[in-house]
Structures are given as C-alpha cells and as structure tokens.
Amino acid sequence: MKFTVERDLLIDGVNWVARSLSTRPIQTALLGIMIDVTNSITLTGSDLETSTKATITADIATKGKVLVPGRLLAEIARALPAKPVTFFLDGTRVLVTAGSAKFTLPTLPLDEYPNLPQLPETSGEIPGDVFAAAINQVAIAAGKDDSLPTLTGVHIEMNKSTITLAATDRYRLAVKEINWNPKDQNTEATTLLRARTLIDVAKSLTGTGQITFALSPSASNEKLVGFISEEKTMTSRTLDGTFPPFRHLLPTESTAEATIEVGPFLDSVRRVALVTDKTVPLRLIFSKNTLQLEAGTGEDAQATEELNINYTGEDINIAFNPTFLTDGLQAINSPFVHISFTGDKKPAVLTGKSEPNGVINTTYKYLLMPMRYTS
Amino acid sequence: MSELTILHVDMDAFFASVEERDNPALKGKAVVVGNGIRSVVSAANYEARKFGIHAAMPIGRAKRLAPHAIFVPPNMARYSEVSSHIMEIFRSVTPLVEPLSLDEAFLDVTGARRLLGSGREIAIHIRKKIEASEGITCSVGIATTKFIAKLASGRCKPNGILEIAPDRVIEFLHPLPVSAIWGVGPKTNEELQKLGLRTIFDIANTPRQTLIRILGEASGASLYELAWGRDYREVIPNEVDKSISAAQTFETDIEDQEIILREFLRLTEKATHRLRERDLSARTISIKVRFADFKTISRSKTLPLPISAAHEVFDVVKALFLSLKLDRARLRLVGISLDGFEDGVDGSEQLILGEREKGWRQATAAIDRASARFGQGSVRPARLIEE
C-alpha cells in the first residue's frame, strides 16, 4: 500500500472518523482507523454505536488495506507540516512522511475489525445548513442524564415532506419543523437519535450542499440512521425506547402575550441572574407594557431591572430557571421573542419574530416550564 | 485582647449511656451497642471497656472478649433526639456552638463569662443541666484554643472537668505523644517516629523548616504551631453536615437483586426524610456496596437540579446500582449518601412538563407530616411492608 494525499484533506477526513472512536472500546481493534486504498481512499472509524467514513482523493501507487491506531493518527495528521503526505506499508508498520517529518505507526490486526453495519437505503435529502440550524435549536433541550436515555435523544419524525425534530429534558421542550425532499412522497417514519451524535453531524457534515438521509426500514432488526454528504457518511444506531408524546403539551390558547427585543432582554436576564445560583428562580413580573425582572430574596444579594415591552393580557408573575430561559432566547434565533402564557404554573411558549409587529414564526417552539417559588 | 474561653464537651460513652438510662436493668453491667453479629461496635460503656472492647471493633470479637456483656442494637433516632436536646443546652449558654458529631461540640463561651462566670463555672453549669435533664454524664475540657480544649476533655474522661490555663499549656502538652495532635494520623505518626520525634516536646524543638521539609508546607507549619499550643481556628457555629448517609450491613451476604434494591429503597426513604426535615435538597447521590470479601466500591451522580423526594432519589440510586452490572455478586453492605445540598427554604422548585399540579411533592409532604405524628415508617412504600 502506498499513496500520497494533501495534508488538509487528510486532516479533515481523519478528524471526521476520529469522532466515533471510543477511548474505551469493547474491542481493541476499534481503537483503530481503517485505511482502505482502492481507486480512492476510505477512512473508517467506529465504536459500534456510530460509524463514520470519509473518502478522500489521493495519488495512489499501490492499493491495500490497513488498520492503524486512530487517536495517534489524528494527532499526527494535525501536527504535520503543510506538505503532501505519503503513506507506505512496510511489513507490519506504516511509514508516514510529510516534508522532513517521518513517523512510523504500528498496525493493528485487520481480521479482528468487526463488520460494520451497512448504510441503509437512502430516503431523501435536505439542505445541510437548514438541518444543522434545526439540530442546534432542538438539541439544546435534550436531557444530559444518561439514566434517562430516551430523553438524551432527539426525536425525528418524517411525515411526507415535513420533518419534525423534538427534544425535552422534562423541564423544557423544543420542537422544530423543516421541509425536506423525500424519495417517496408518502414517507412516514420516526426515529430517536442521541443528541450528541446529531450535534456532531451538524458541526461537520453541513458545510456542503445537501445531506442525504438513510433510514433502515421499520421492519428490520437493526435500527440505523445514516447521514451522507459528499465525501463523508455516518451510520448511527438509534436509541431504544419511545420518545414521550409531546404534542398535547403544546398549549392551544393563551391568557397573555409579550413581544420583547431579544438582545436587551438577554442582557437584562444575564445581569439580574448574576445574584443567583444557576438553579435559583429568576422572577418575571409582566404588566401593562413593562417587564420587571427580579432575583434573590431576603438577606441574600438581590437585583431588579425593568424593560418596556409589548404586552397584552392578564398580569402575570412567573419564575424561570435563568439558564433555561437564556437557552431558549438564544435558540429562537430571531431579533424578537414572542412569549405566550397560560398561567404561572403552566409552560410558557417562546417563538421568534423578525419585526415587533410581524408574524410569529411557528416552525420553532421552545416550551419552558416555570419554577414554583414562595415569595 | 482578652483571651478566648473555649469548651470542648464530649458525652461519656454516649450511645451506651443513653441505653443505660432508658433501661435501668443495664446499670452497672457491661453494655455494648452494635447491630447484629456481623457489624462493628458503635459504643461500649466503661464497664465493657475494662474487657478491652472499644468502638469499631467487630461485634464477634467483642462477644469473645466479654461473653456476659449485654449487646443492644443501636437506636440512632433516639440518640439524635437526645443529642438535639444537648445541643439546645449548649445553645442556651452561647450561640457559638460547633457540633463535631452527635455527642461532642466546641463552645466559645468568651462572651458568656460576664453573665455566667468563668469557663469552669460554665462547664459545671452545663454538666449539671445535662445530667438533670438527660440523665447522662459528659466531660469538659477548658482552654483558650480548640486544640487544647479537645485534648483536655480526652484526659479527664469520664465525668470530669479539666481546665488548662494559658501558662500551663506547654507543660500539659509537651509530654504527650505526637499522635495526640489533631491531624497526625498513623502515616504521619510513622514518618515522625522514624525521625525519632515521639513526643510533642520533640516536635516543638524541631526547626519549623525541617518539619515543612518532611510534611509539606501546610501540615509542617501547622504541626509546629500546634506543638507550641497555638491554634487560630475559631468556633464556627452550626456547621451543618455536608452530607447525609445511611448504610446497612446484611445479616448474611445477599445476592438477590430484589432484596438489595428493597434495602436501597429503605435507606433512600430514611435519608431523604432526614434531608427534608432540614429543608434541604441534594444534587449528588452516591451509593456504596461492600462485597463479601470486604472490597468496597462507590458510584455517584450529580444532577442538574437538586431533588429531595424519595422516589426521585431512588430512581438515581437504582440506576447507579444497576450500572454496576453485578452478576449475582454477594454483598455484605449497601449504603447511600446525599450531598451537594441546596436550601429548600425558599420553597422554589423546577416544575415538570405535563406533570399534575398536585403531585409527588404534595404526597411527600403529607407522608412527612404523618411520620412526624405517628413515627417514621408509618407511611412507607408498599414494597417495604413486611408480611
């Protein structure tokens, strides 16, 4: 095996596949990145949960296949000088040279490398940037507690030309609808994927045009989802369990509504929250076009601030976890936030607006459950 | 500046004394408090100590040393009740009370001297009051520092008072072995012995720099200061416990997961009850399991939000235990511990999407009220009701 490759292409490919390497895999072979040289080069990494592949073009002298320590390869690739990189298999070792830098890598036994799941049939495509933005808006509400695994996932629901993404940690719920281009116009499918995996996809697969989705048919034993961009693919096992029903949580009416400019609101929230612990409530008092923010009680440090806002409906005193509120204000990704209330112990719904008097963008909703507090 | 007056009050064989008081038939007999044949001695009265029995000794061994002794199971609820009465007595003398455990505390009585008299007079007053209202005795050390006060109470046990005046500190302190110094554990002790430093006098006459070289900056310097009777620590009132824990040794080693989980549930009920009694909630939940061969492992989890309800804590405890993936391992002991406390005082709580407005929180509060009235365990999960 011998080939020469551009350093930047190598770094990009190796970084992508190194993402699925586990530091403590169940098989030693999974510590490796597989380099398969045919007419192009395919790099593969896997922890059996997710598997990633990158295909890069190279100047190929002899074909071959080899397994090298993955983390080491990734570190070496990042440190190489900006010169073409040559790989050469010499017996059981791989020589890597770039300019004057020379490395010798041991190889791992190829025959111990497990058979990785095949990419399922493709089911449709979506623009990468749209998908990435949607994931970033939704994954923020996913749980981080591995003892409740279904809540660490993002629920993905495909219904004809609409995809609905949803995630919740039981304190808030984020729901986003986007359009896609399914291969079969009658596609109906749901799946649940780890939020962390999707964030990786959003970070690395989305610079380039379209992303293709590949969903294993619901009848198959192995529940897999694949993402394919031009040269990179990821196959991930879906999470077990059923995402809790969430549509009935979305309120259908409201008793009060506010429209607030996000920038100044975020600044005020951050200032007032300075006096609290992250889990201590931030109190919001909405009345006649003013919003008063308060935090801290009794002998402790306190802070208050007042904002002029658009407000209609009954006055309301409501308290939120300041971090969750900040998350939501950032996630709506709009200059104005529209908040609708149905009570001080009922979820508030945050949506985005581009103008104070404009229409509400209902494709993204962030439901936030208040905190109970005694004043 | 006038000198401080610090008392260290230590109850004499506390658990055993409470048992003797509650059961006069035990008076004058050797009494050992400890649960079941497989655990260790929690306390032994002075009669039992004559046979060489001491706290932390395996019960089996204590039984061989004194087969005629009376072994009683510990009643922690009772001891903590008596303890809270005693702490109340301390607080009636001075607000500066720093409890070290159920049965000992430091008191800074400097400010009480004008009203109640000298340190010795206050000590006599406290001892009388405890004996009259609780029927048990204690020993009191009096000095100008915490360090000397604690050493003094240890030297006048049982049922004594020892005051070390400032000009007598050195002559009291210097003949004592180095292991008497607070913070000198077996390892440091060994280091010091190797260098021929046996008494506190030896330490005091070793250059400060030498001690720092041997023991490191912090411990070397503090050891030198203590050897000259200098201790700058203040009495910090009411330092609340940083964790609440509960553990159980099984009568025989258990491998049945059902029984183990049931025990975890019982411990969770117990610990969360104490948590809520103090109006706290906890963010970090830990479990401990000890195998038949005494190997012990623990696992913990810190949550994004603090919790206090038994069913919520048990979900975490159960997940931690199941994540150990024990394959029918035989367990000797299981325990849980809660820390990372946050005040529940302001009553704030993150609400959960889709949960009924009156939910577990109200149910838990009702259980706590019933327990306050009818005793702990009067309302408990169906799984914990014995047939």
Q: Do A370 and B315 touch (CB under 8 A)?
A: no
Residue type, position A257, single letter = E
The separation between the first and the last C-alpha atoms of chain A, rounded to the nearest angstrom, is 73
Out of A168, A170, A297, name the one closest to residue B346 (CB). Answer: A297
In B, minimum Cα distance to A300 occurs at B346
Question: Contacts of residue A168 in chain B, CB cutoff 8 Å?
Answer: 353
At B344 the pLDDT is: 56
In A, minimum Cα distance to B354 occurs at A249
Q: How far is B24 from chain A (nearest CA, A)?
A: 49
Out of B323, B342, B353, name the one closest to residue A170 (CB). Answer: B353
Task: Give the residue from B340, B103, B338, B334 showing the smallest Cα distance to B244.
Answer: B338
Please check whether residues A179 and A74 belong to one and the same domain: no
**Structural domain contains residue A333:** yes
Handedness of CA B379, B382, B384, B386 (dihedral sign): positive
Whether the CB of B350 is below 8 Å from some CB of chain A: the reply is: yes
Range with lowest mean pLDDT among A97-101, A109-113, B38-42, B148-152:
B38-42
Q: How far is B259 from chain A (nearest CA, A)?
A: 22
DSSP SS3 for A178? strand
CA separation for the pair B38, B252 (Å, rounded): 8
pLDDT at B385 over 80: no
Whether the CB of B300 is below 8 Å from some CB of chain A: the reply is: no
How confident is the model over A70-98, as a mean pLDDT?
94
Out of B320, B349, B354, name the one closest to residue A371 (CB). Answer: B349
Q: Answer whether A85's CB lies under 8 Å from A10's CB.
A: yes
Please check whether residues A165 and A68 belong to one and the same domain: no
Please check whether residues A269 and A344 belong to one and the same domain: yes
Out of B304, B348, B352, name the one closest to residue A280 (CB). Answer: B348
CA separation for the pair B320, B261 (Å, rounded): 11
Please check whether residues A127 and A241 belong to one and the same domain: yes
Residue at token pair 């006098």: B201
Residue predicted with more confidence, B351 or A217: B351
B3 in catalytic set: no
pLDDT at B140 over 90: yes
Whether the CB of A371 is below 8 Å from some CB of chain B: the reply is: yes
Distances (CA, A) of B69 to B57, B60, B96, B336: 14, 12, 39, 32
Question: Contacts of residue A173 in chain B, CB cutoff 8 Å?
Answer: 353
Whether the CB of A279 is below 8 Å from some CB of chain B: the reply is: yes
Whether the CB of A145 is below 8 Å from some CB of chain B: the reply is: yes
| Sheet hosting strand B43-44, strand order edge to edge | B43-44, B31-33, B70-72
Please check whether residues A241 and A309 belong to one and the same domain: no
Out of A367, A371, A372, name the one closest to residue B353 (CB). Answer: A367
**Structural domain contains residue A257:** yes
Tell me the residue range of the domain where A353 lies. 250-368
Q: Do B315 and A147 touch (CB under 8 A)?
A: yes
Please check whether residues A225 and A141 belong to one and the same domain: yes
At A139 the pLDDT is: 96
Residue at token pair 């993936």: B325
Number of CB atoms found within 10 A of residue B271's CB: 24
Does the pTM surpass 0.80? The reply is: no
The total number of residues shown for chain A amounts to 375
Give B211-278 as a DSSP string: HHHHH-HHHHHHHHHHHTT---PPP-TT---SEEEEEEEEEEEE--HHHHHHHHHHHHHHHHHHHHHT
Residue type, position B340, single letter = G
Residue of B19, B104, B134, B269 marked active site? B104
**Structural domain contains residue A8:** yes
**Structural domain contains residue A373:** no
At A208 the pLDDT is: 67
Torsion of CA B169, B175, B181, B187, to 10 degrees: 160
CA separation for the pair B40, A248 (Å, rounded): 56
Please check whether residues A257 and A278 belong to one and the same domain: yes
**Structural domain contains residue A131:** yes
Whether the CB of A120 is below 8 Å from some CB of chain B: the reply is: no
How confident is the model over A207-236, as a mean pLDDT?
85
Please check whether residues A107 and A147 belong to one and the same domain: no
Residue type, position A87, single letter = F
In A, minimum Cα distance to B281 occurs at A279
**Structural domain contains residue A374:** no
Q: Do B319 and A147 touch (CB under 8 A)?
A: yes
Which alpha helices (DSSP H) does A212-313 contain, by range?
262-273
Query: Of the residues A191, A218, A247, which one is the last residue of a structural domain?
Result: A247
Residue at token pair 């004057």: A100
Query: Of the residues A112, A144, A167, which one is the last residue of a structural domain?
Result: A112
Question: Contacts of residue A172 in chain B, CB cutoff 8 Å?
Answer: 353
Q: Do A144 and B342 touch (CB under 8 A)?
A: no
Task: Give the residue from A176, A44, A11 showing the smallest Cα distance to A116.
Answer: A44
CATH number of the domain bearing residue A353: 3.10.150.10
How confident is the model over A161-175, as a mean pLDDT?
95
How confident is the model over A314-318, as a mean pLDDT?
93
A211's tokens: 């992303």
pLDDT at B10 over 90: yes
A347's tokens: 């979820």
Torsion of CA A198, A200, A205, A211, to 10 degrees: -10
Whether the CB of A144 is below 8 Å from some CB of chain B: the reply is: yes
**Structural domain contains residue A117:** no
pLDDT band, residue A256 (cuts 50/70/90): very high
The separation between the first and the last C-alpha atoms of chain B, rounded to the nearest angstrom, is 66
Task: Give the residue from B321, B208, B334 showing the smallest Cα distance to B267.
Answer: B334
Q: List all residues of chain A from 202 to 231 with a beta carbon under 8 Å from chain B.
A: none
pLDDT tens for each residue of B14-45 = 999 999 888 888 888 889 998 666 788 888 88
SS3 sequence, B146-196?
Answer: HHHHHHHHHHCCCCCEEECCHHHHHHHHCCCEHHHCCCCCHHHHHHHHHCC
Please check whether residues A148 and A220 belong to one and the same domain: yes
At B365 the pLDDT is: 78
At B357 the pLDDT is: 64
B168's tokens: 């007598």
pLDDT tens for each residue of B251-310 = 889 999 999 999 999 999 988 988 887 778 888 999 999 988 878 888 999 887 788 888
Q: What is the count of residue pairs from A and B with beta carbons less than 8 Å apart? A: 61
Distances (CA, A) of B1 to A221, B99, B332: 81, 26, 55
Query: Of the residues A112, A139, A162, which one is the last residue of a structural domain?
Result: A112
CA separation for the pair B36, B55 (Å, rounded): 15
pLDDT at B384 over 50: yes
Q: How far is A270 from chain B (nearest CA, A)?
A: 19
How confident is the model over A189-218, as a mean pLDDT?
86
At A223 the pLDDT is: 87
A3's tokens: 């080939």
Name the average pLDDT for chain A.
91
Phi/psi for B241 (5° steps) reads -55, 145
pLDDT tens for each residue of B92-130 = 888 888 988 889 999 999 888 888 889 999 999 999 999
How many structural domains compose chain A? 3
Give which of A275, A369, A375 to mutate to test B binding, by max B Cβ within 10 Å: A369
Q: Answer whether A77's CB lies under 8 Å from A23's CB.
A: no
Question: Contacts of residue B349 in chain A, CB cutoff 8 Å?
Answer: 371-373
Whether the CB of A347 is below 8 Å from some CB of chain B: the reply is: yes
How confident is the model over A83-100, as a mean pLDDT?
95
pLDDT band, residue B358 (cuts 50/70/90): low
At B104 the pLDDT is: 92
Whether the CB of B352 is below 8 Å from some CB of chain A: the reply is: yes
Please check whether residues A185 and A293 belong to one and the same domain: no
pLDDT band, residue B1 (cuts 50/70/90): very low
Give which of A144, A145, A248 to mutate to test B binding, by max B Cβ within 10 Å: A145
As a whole-number percent, the residues of chain A with pLDDT over 90 amount to 75
pLDDT at A219 over 80: no
Whether the CB of B340 is below 8 Å from some CB of chain A: the reply is: no
Name the average pLDDT for chain B.
85
Q: How far is B303 from chain A (nearest CA, A)?
A: 8
Q: How far is B305 from chain A (nearest CA, A)?
A: 7
Q: Do B305 and A297 touch (CB under 8 A)?
A: no
Task: Give the residue from A311, A277, A271, A158 showing the smallest Cα distance to A225.
Answer: A158
**Structural domain contains residue A375:** no
Whether the CB of B171 is below 8 Å from some CB of chain A: the reply is: no
Whether the CB of A372 is below 8 Å from some CB of chain B: the reply is: yes
Q: Do A280 and B303 touch (CB under 8 A)?
A: no
Whether the CB of B301 is below 8 Å from some CB of chain A: the reply is: yes
At B25 the pLDDT is: 85
Distance of CA A275 to the CA centre of its chain: 31
Please check whether residues A357 and A256 belong to one and the same domain: yes
Q: Do A374 and B352 touch (CB under 8 A)?
A: no
At B314 the pLDDT is: 93
pLDDT tens for each residue of A269-301 = 999 988 877 678 899 999 988 999 998 877 778
How confident is the model over B64-74, as a mean pLDDT?
88
H or E, element range at A11: helix A7-18
Range with lowest mean pLDDT among B11-15, B44-48, B237-241, B381-385:
B237-241
pLDDT tens for each residue of A8-49 = 999 999 999 998 998 878 788 999 999 999 999 999 999 988
**Torsion region of A325: left, alpha or beta (phi above 0 gives left; psi -120 to 50 gives alpha):** alpha
How confident is the model over A57-61, as a mean pLDDT?
95
Please check whether residues A144 and A240 belong to one and the same domain: yes
Q: Do A168 and B353 touch (CB under 8 A)?
A: yes
pLDDT at B345 over 50: no
